[in-house]
A = this chain, B = another copy of it.
Amino acid sequence: MALIDDIISLAHLESASLPDPAVQMARLSLADWLVCGWAGQDEPLAVKLREFAEKEQGASIATVIGAGKAPPRMAALVNGATSHALDFDDTHFAHVGHLSVGIYPAALAVAEEVGQSAQAVIEAFLVGAEAAIRIGVVLGAEHYNKGFHQTATAGAFGAVVAAARLYGLTPGQTRHAIGLCATRASGLKSQFGTMGKPYNAGLAASNGVECAALAALGFTSTTDGLFDPQGFIPTHTDKDLSPDTDLVPVTQRFYFEDNKYKLHACCHGTHAMIEALLPIASGLSLQDVSGLCLRTNPRWLRVCDKKAPQTGLEVKFSYAWLAGMTLRGDATGSDRTYTDALAIDDDLAAFALRVKVEADPSLTDLQADGEIHLSNGRTLPFYHDLAAPVAPDLLRGKLATKAQAAIGNKGTEIFSQLDKISHLSASDLGALIGRT
């Protein structure tokens, strides 16, 4: 089946055909996305985008995080960037990018416009995310390595699919919406480290809304925006390609189920270690530990093995500091934990001298392995692989803990909504993150 047909059919897949584990995970992604959005609202780029929205004004239709309402395309732009401001949102490794921040803002904004349910937002996100992953996989690492940012590029197609579903576009209109997105989608990795990176997530979301809205008005485009001879995919990757991909059919598998979540507000390279230490931290104090040996994929040693961090930001890249923080129960899930004062914490500094980090090429970059040596002579081995699936209840608990650490009671409030999600509307979701 040609990719374009696969993507169009995703937009129109019946709710009953969506696999339950994927729907469950999409629901958790919604809560996590709302948390990331709320947490990012005071970042300078979020403030500036709200100023831009105030300048344009426009119809009060869709909620802007931390503000009132705006046209859906603008809400999608602001919310996409705001929720990616802290880079604390979910990641899909095969897609090579962040799904929620590009797609949920589009789904929520359009669902508020058309008066849909929260469940419809989740389902629209899910089919959009699945579309974005499939397009991201076909674009491949070649696309990313050339300099494109799948979060923005493949993400825009995900957003357009989500928006197309909620606008109720026909398959023909959906085809045009995807065709328009082919000429609209953009986003470069060279923005990393600047406000341009979160902006890219906003671009995905707002491009998706714009193209679907135009197609709903009868705007036309090319018949295969993805695989026209000079369509989006051939122009944006050097990979050898065929429109008949070897992707597993949607009916057999939702790649979305491999989605991963950031639970700690520090470098991703330290997360496997933190997850490995958490189950054994309870009941231990730093004084009990005479030594800690960590083995990790060699590539991380250049990234997150700061032996003596000087600032809160550098702590995020320090195995030794983060090991100590995890063992004594610090809230690694909160950006506010990483103060400059933490970098001169005497207990952590003393503990860091007892931490040894070694490269182990047999480990993937999602794995951590090691031992804790206790003063009483015992040894506690630890190991974690971020690639391993996490049981839904366990994942929910971890995300709720992150939410509480990141934004306090607001996080608890957001997670408590999950139990009554089937009774909520898109507008209720908007009310959770807006301000009147």
Interfacial residues, chain A to chain B (CB-CB below 8 A):
44-45, 48-49, 51-52, 55-59, 71, 73-74, 146-149, 152, 179-180, 182-191, 193-196, 199-200, 203, 213-214, 217-222, 225, 228-232, 234-235
Contacts and interface: CB of A to CB of B under 8 A. Distances in A.
B183 A217 contact: no
Contacts of A225: 190
B222 A196 contact: yes
B179 A191 contact: yes
A228 B196 CA distance: 14
A225 B194 CA distance: 12
A232 B147 CA distance: 9
Contact of A147 (B180, B195, B230): B230
Contact of A57 (B57, B180, B184): B57
Given A183-B152, A190-B230, A194-B221, A55 B59 contact: yes
A213 B58 CA distance: 17
Q: Name the residue among A73, A148, A185, A195 with the largest chain B CB count within 10 angstroms.
A: A195
Contacts of A146: 230, 235
Contacts of A193: 222
Contacts of A191: 179, 182-183, 221-222
Given A147-B230, A194-B221, A218-B48, A183 B179 contact: no
A214 B44 CA distance: 12
B217 A196 contact: no
B231 A188 contact: yes
A1 to B, nearest CB: 21
Contact of A185 (B57, B186, B221): B186
A56 B55 contact: no
A199 B148 CA distance: 23
Contacts of A49: 214, 219
Nearest to A200: B183
Given A58-B58, A213-B55, A230-B147, A222 B182 contact: no
Contacts of A147: 229-231, 234-235
Contact of A195 (B186, B194, B219, B235): B219
B190 A48 contact: no
A186 B188 contact: no
Given A56-B58, A71-B57, A217-B52, A183 B186 contact: yes
A45 B228 contact: no
Contacts of A230: 146-147, 188-190
A349 B41 CA distance: 69
A52 B209 CA distance: 12
A318 to B, nearest CB: 27
A181 B310 CA distance: 35
Nearest to A73: B56
A52 B213 contact: yes
Contacts of A184: 186, 203
Contacts of A199: 180, 183, 214, 219, 221
Given A190-B228, A195-B220, 18 more contacts: A52-B214, A52-B217, A56-B71, A57-B71, A147-B229, A147-B235, A149-B183, A179-B191, A180-B199, A183-B186, A183-B196, A183-B203, A186-B186, A190-B222, A190-B231, A190-B235, A191-B222, A193-B222
Nearest to A235: B147
